[in-house]
C-alpha cells in the first residue's frame, strides 16, 4: 500500500537547548553489574559465593543420592493443583506481546506447565547445572581480580549511573517545537458510516466502551485496572507503583470514539496525578507499550503538551535499562535507582526477544518529540547486536543474554516471547515512510524462515504457526500468535516480487484458523493456546490454556483483513466476537475475563484488562468504521494499538524559533 509521509524523523533546534543535552548518548553503555548502592565488599562476595556453592552441592546430593529423589523432586518442584486457575494479570505479553511476566509470562505469552514428568525433571536439572556453572565462572572471574580493582570497578559504576541520571534530567528540561499535522487531514476526525446497520453496530461497540469506562471510574479510578466482579481496583506488579494504566491506555480510544468529556477527565488526571517519581521496579516492555505509547498517541491526536512532556519524562527514566555490556536492555528496571535485572525464569536471566524488540517505534518517536537522538541510538544498537548474531536456520530465538550478547536456549515462537519483535520490524519500515531498508530486509528474511520451519497445515487444512524448540516442533499456537494474520497482510504490498498475493492469502488462512479456535468453544471466544496433535485441531487440551482474558489479537487480524480486502466475513466474525463478549464477559461492574471458554457456566477471573479498552474495543470500532478513520497510510498501531504517525523526511524541519 502507498504510505504517505507526515512528520520529519528528527528536529534539531538551532539554539541547542537539547541538541547535545546528553552528549549524543548513543551506543551501548558499559555494564553496571554490582554497581548499585548496596554493592557488596569483597569479603561479603566470597561469603555469598561459598553459601551459594554449598546450596548447589546440597541440591545435587539430594538429586543423585537420596532415595526416591525423583519422587521428592516431582512432589516439591512440580506440585500443582488442578483447581488452580491462571492468573489474570496481563501478558508477558508477549504481547507476549510477552505480559503476565510477574507470574512467569512475558507480554503476550506463557511458558508451558510441565507435561511429561521425566522431561520436566530433565529440564529442571539442566537449569540447575547451568546456574551452578555460571556461579563458578563468576567466582573464577572475581578471584582473578585484586581487591582494589573490584572496589574501583564498583565506585566507577556507581559514579557513571549517578552522572547518567543527572545528565538525563538536565538534558530534557526544554522540549523543541514539533510539527503536528491537523488531525482532520490525517483521518483522526470521525464521521458516521453511511450504512445504517453498520452505524448501529458501531454505536453498540461505543456503548461497550462507555460501560467499561464508567465502571472503571466508579470503582477503580486512578488504579491500574478494574475488578469488575468484586468492584475494586486491581494493580499488577508489572507497573510497580505507577498508577493509572487504564486511563493512559484508554486515551486514544476515547478520542477517536468522540467521548470528549471522558477524554478531558482522563487528561486532567494525567496532569494532576500521573507520577513517575516513584521507587518502583517496572517491566520496561509493558510500561513502554502502554504508558509511553499511550501518551505519545494522545499527544499526536490532541496536541496537549502535557502528554508529550510525560512521555519524554518516562522515556528518560527507562534509559538506564540499556546499561548492559551489550546494550540489550534489562526486562525489569527500578526507575528511581536505575538498577535493572531480568526475569529469573527467562533462560538463566536472559532478555526476551518480544520485550527488547518492542521498543523501536516508541523510542524513535521519543527522539523526534524530544529533539535528542539518544532514544533512537539505543534501539538502533539492538538492531546492530541482532544483525551480528548468527541465526539458527534464519530464526530468532526468544532469549538473548544481555551480558554476552549471545543467544540462550533455541526456542522460537511467533506467539508469546517472540511475537511483537516481528511486528515492529515491519512497522518500523512503514513508520519510516519506507526508508528503513534494514528493517524491511530483517522482516522479510525472518518471515521466510518462519514459513519454512514453523508454518504448517493440519490434516483438515487449517494453517497454523507452531513453536520451534531446538529443531523440534511443538504443534501449539497461542492466541497471541493470531496477530500474525494481520501482520502478513499488512506487509504484503512490499513483499518480494510475485509474493503480494501469497502473503494476503497467508493472512487470510491464519485469520480462518483463529476464527475456528473461537468457534470450537462453548462461549465462542478463543482459548489462550490451542493445539494440533493427537487428532485435535484448534482446541485447547490443557487446563492452563483454556482461559480468555479479553485479548485483542484475533479481532486485530480481522481489522487488518477487513481494511485490506473488504471481505464481509471479517465484519461478520467481528460481530460474533461482540455478541460473545456481551453474553459471557459483561457483568454489572464492567467486563471480565473467563477461566475456561469450554465451560457452560461462566467462571470469571475478575479483571478488566487495560488492553481491553486500548486494543480490543478500538479494533472492533474500526472494523465498523469507514477506512478514512485512521487510514493505514498515515498511522501505525503499536503493539498496544496506540497510534503513531508515519515519520517523513519530506516535511519542512521545524526550526528552534518555532517557524
Q: Exposed e or buried b for every residue in 366-377, given b needs 16+ CB within 10 A?
A: bbbbbbbbbbbb
Residue 556 has pLDDT above 60, yes or no: yes
Active site residue 579: no
pLDDT in the model for residue 164: 59
Catalytic one among 528, 537, 606, 640? 528
Per mean pLDDT, which range of 108-117, 499-508, 605-614 is the poorest? Answer: 108-117
Residue 395 has pLDDT above 90, yes or no: yes
Q: Can you spell out the DSSP letters for 159-195? A: HHHHHHHHHHHHHTSSPPP-----GGGTT-S----SS
pLDDT in the model for residue 67: 39
Quickly count helices (H) and strands (E) in the chain.
21, 18
Report CA torsion sign: 485, 487, 491, 495: negative
Residue 69 has pLDDT above 70, yes or no: no
Tell me the C-alpha to C-alpha distance, in Å, between residue 485 and each of 193, 407, 415, 509.
26, 27, 12, 7
Task: Please compute the mean of the pLDDT values over residues 580-585 and round it to a whole number.
Answer: 98
User: Does 137 map to a domain?
Assistant: no
**Order of strands, sheet of 472-474, starting from the edge strand that comes earlier in the sequence:** 411-412, 467-469, 472-474
Domain range spanning residue 501?
209-645
User: Does 180 map to a domain?
Assistant: no
**Which tens digit of pLDDT belongs to each residue from 263-312?**
999 999 999 999 999 999 999 999 999 999 999 999 999 999 999 999 99
Catalytic one among 553, 556, 596, 615? 553
pLDDT in the model for residue 128: 73
Task: Please compute the mean of the pLDDT values over residues 35-53 and round it to a whole number.
Answer: 57
Q: Between 68 and 131, whose confidence is greater?
A: 131
Mean pLDDT score across all residues of the chain: 83
Q: What confidence category does residue 534 fall into, taking pLDDT thresholds of 50, 70 and 90?
A: confident
Residue 201 has pLDDT above 70, yes or no: yes
Active site residue 419: yes
How many domains does the structure of the chain reveal? Answer: 1
Q: What's the rounded Cα separation, in Å, for the pair 606 and 331? A: 27
Residue 621 has pLDDT above 90, yes or no: yes
User: Does 352 map to a domain?
Assistant: yes
Per mean pLDDT, which range of 34-48, 149-163, 220-234, 245-259 is the poorest? Answer: 34-48
User: Does 287 map to a domain?
Assistant: yes
User: Does 136 map to a domain?
Assistant: no
Q: What's the rounded Cα separation, in Å, for the pair 236 and 145? A: 41
Q: What are the phi and psi torsion angles at 455 (to 5°)?
A: -85, 130
Residue 96 has pLDDT above 60, yes or no: no
pLDDT in the model for residue 598: 98
653 torsion bin: left (phi>0), alpha (psi -120 to 50), beta (else): beta
- How far separated are the first and last CA of the chain, in Å rounded? 33
Q: What's the rounded Cα separation, in Å, for the pair 531 and 637? A: 29
User: Does 68 map to a domain?
Assistant: no
Q: What's the rounded Cα separation, in Å, for the pair 154 and 150? A: 6
Active site residue 537: no
Q: What's the rounded Cα separation, in Å, for the pair 100 and 91? A: 4
pLDDT in the model for residue 152: 63
**Which tens digit of pLDDT belongs to each residue from 6-31?**
444 444 333 333 333 333 333 333 33
Q: What's the rounded Cα separation, in Å, for the pair 629 and 622? A: 7
Q: What's the rounded Cα separation, in Å, for the pair 358 and 70? A: 40
Please answer whether residues 24 and 110 qualify as being in contact, where contact means their C-beta atoms are separated by less than 8 angstroms.
no
Report CA torsion sign: 18, 33, 354, 641: negative
Which residues are CB-contacts of 358 (< 8 A; sequence separation ≥ 6)? 94, 95, 97, 98, 107, 285, 288, 289, 420, 421, 423, 424, 639
Instruction: Tell me whether residue 639 is annotated as binding.
Output: yes
User: Does 159 map to a domain?
Assistant: no
What percent of the chain stands above pLDDT 70? 73
Please answer whether residues 544 and 113 qualify as being in contact, where contact means their C-beta atoms are separated by less than 8 angstroms.
yes
How many beta carbons lie within 10 A of that of residue 326, not counting itself?
21
CATH of the domain at 274: 1.50.10.10
pLDDT in the model for residue 654: 40
Q: What's the rounded Cα separation, in Å, for the pair 263 and 420? A: 28
Task: Please compute the mean of the pLDDT values over residues 120-131 and round it to a whole number.
Answer: 69
Q: What's the rounded Cα separation, in Å, for the pair 496 and 319? A: 36
Task: Please compute the mean of the pLDDT values over residues 477-493 and round it to a whole number.
Answer: 98
Task: Please compute the mean of the pLDDT values over residues 245-256 and round it to a whole number.
Answer: 98
Active site residue 141: no
Catalytic one among 313, 419, 606, 615? 419
Which residues are CB-contacts of 576 (< 8 A; sequence separation ≥ 6)? 518, 524
User: Does 533 map to a domain?
Assistant: yes
pLDDT in the model for residue 45: 62
Q: What's the rounded Cα separation, in Å, for the pair 477 and 444? A: 21
pLDDT in the model for residue 61: 53
Residue 648 has pLDDT above 70, yes or no: yes
Amino acid at each position: 500500500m502507498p504510505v504517505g509521509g507526515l512528520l520529519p524523523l528528527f528536529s534539531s533546534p538551532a539554539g541547542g537547548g537539547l541538541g547535545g543535552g546528553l552528549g549524543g548518548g548513543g551506543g551501548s553503555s558499559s555494564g553496571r553489574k554490582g554497581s548499585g548502592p548496596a554493592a557488596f565488599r569483597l569479603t561479603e562476595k566470597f561469603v555469598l559465593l561459598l553459601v551459594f556453592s554449598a546450596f548447589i552441592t546440597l541440591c545435587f546430593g539430594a538429586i543423585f543420592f537420596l532415595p526416591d529423589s525423583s519422587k521428592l523432586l516431582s512432589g516439591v518442584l512440580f506440585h500443582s493443583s488442578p483447581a488452580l486457575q491462571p492468573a489474570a494479570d496481563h501478558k508477558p505479553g508477549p504481547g507476549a506481546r510477552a505480559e503476565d511476566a510477574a507470574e512467569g509470562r512475558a507480554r503476550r505469552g506463557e511458558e508451558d506447565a510441565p507435561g511429561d514428568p521425566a522431561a520436566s525433571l530433565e529440564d529442571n536439572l539442566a537449569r540447575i547445572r547451568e546456574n551452578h556453572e555460571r556461579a563458578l565462572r563468576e567466582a573464577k572471574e572475581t578471584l582473578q581480580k585484586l581487591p582494589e580493582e573490584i572496589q574501583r570497578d564498583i565506585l566507577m559504576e556507581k559514579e557513571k549511573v549517578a552522572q547518567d541520571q543527572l545528565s538525563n534530567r538536565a538534558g530534557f528540561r526544554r522540549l523543541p517545537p514539533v510539527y503536528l499535522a491537523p488531525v482532520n487531514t490525517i483521518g483522526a476526525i470521525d464521521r458516521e458510516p453511511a450504512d445504517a446497520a453498520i452505524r448501529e453496530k458501531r454505536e453498540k461497540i461505543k456503548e461497550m466502551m462507555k460501560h467499561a469506562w464508567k465502571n472503571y471510574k466508579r470503582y477503580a479510578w486512578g488504579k491500574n485496572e478494574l475488578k469488575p466482579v468484586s468492584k475494586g481496583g486491581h494493580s499488577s506488579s508489572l507497573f510497580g507503583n505507577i498508577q493509572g494504566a487504564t486511563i493512559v491506555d484508554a486515551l486514544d480510544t476515547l478520542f477517536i470514539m468522540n467521548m470528549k468529556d471522558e477524554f478531558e477527565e482522563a487528561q486532567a488526571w494525567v496532569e494532576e496525578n500521573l507520577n513517575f517519581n516513584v521507587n518502583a521496579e517496572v517491566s520496561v516492555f509493558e510500561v513502554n507499550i502502554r504508558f509511553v505509547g499511550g501518551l505519545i498517541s494522545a499527544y499526536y491526536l490532541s496536541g496537549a503538551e502535557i502528554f508529550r512532556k510525560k512521555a519524554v519524562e518516562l522515556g528518560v527514566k527507562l534509559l538506564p535499562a540499556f546499561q548492559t555490556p551489550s546494550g540489550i536492555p534489562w526486562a525489569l528496571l527500578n526507575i528511581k535507582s536505575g538498577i535493572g535485572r531480568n526475569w529469573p525464569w527467562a533462560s538463566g536471566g536472559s532478555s526476551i526477544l518480544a520485550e527488547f524488540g518492542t521498543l523501536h517505534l516508541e523510542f524513535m518517536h521519543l527522539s523526534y518529540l524530544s529533539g535528542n537522538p539518544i532514544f533512537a541510538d539505543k534501539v538502533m544498537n539492538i538492531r546492530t547486536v541482532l544483525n551480528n548474531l548468527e541465526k539458527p536456520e534464519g530464526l530468532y530465538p526468544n532469549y538473548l543474554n544481555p551480558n554476552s550478547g549471545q543467544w540462550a536456549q533455541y526456542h522460537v515462537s511467533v506467539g508469546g516471547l517472540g511475537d511483537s519483535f516481528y511486528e515492529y520490524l515491519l512497522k518500523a519500515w512503514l513508520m519510516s515512510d519506507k526508508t528503513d531498508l534494514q528493517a524491511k530486509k530483517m522482516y522479510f528474511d525472518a518471515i521466510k524462515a518462519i514459513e519454512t520451519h514453523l508454518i504448517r497445515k493440519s490434516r483438515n487444512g487449517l494453517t497454523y504457526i507452531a513453536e520451534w524448540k531446538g529443531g523440534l516442533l511443538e504443534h501449539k499456537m497461542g492466541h497471541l500468535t493470531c496477530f500474525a494474520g494481520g501482520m502478513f497482510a499488512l506487509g504484503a504490498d512490499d513483499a518480494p516480487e510475485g509474493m503480494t498475493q501469497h502473503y494476503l492469502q497467508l493472512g487470510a488462512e491464519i485469520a480462518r484458523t483463529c476464527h475456528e479456535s473461537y468457534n470450537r468453544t462453548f462461549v465462542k471466544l478463543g482459548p489462550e493456546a490451542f493445539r494440533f496433535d493427537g487428532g485435535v485441531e484448534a482446541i485447547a487440551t490443557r487446563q492452563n490454556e483454556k482461559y480468555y482474558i479479553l485479548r485483542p489479537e484475533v479481532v486485530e487480524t480481522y481489522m487488518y483483513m477487513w481494511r485490506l480486502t473488504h471481505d464481509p466475513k471479517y465484519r461478520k466474525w467481528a460481530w460474533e466476537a461482540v455478541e460473545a463478549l456481551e453474553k459471557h464477559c459483561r457483568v454489572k461492574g464492567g467486563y471480565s475475563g473467563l477461566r475456561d471458554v469450554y465451560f457452560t457456566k461462566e467462571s470469571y477471573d475478575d479483571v478488566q484488562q487495560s488492553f481491553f479498552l486500548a486494543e480490543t474495543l478500538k479494533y472492533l470500532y474500526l472494523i465498523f468504521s469507514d477506512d478514512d478513520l485512521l487510514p493505514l497510510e498515515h498511522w501505525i498501531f503499536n503493539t498496544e494499538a496506540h497510534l503513531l504517525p508515519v515519520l517523513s523526511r519530506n516535511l519542512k524541519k521545524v526550526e528552534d524559533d518555532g517557524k
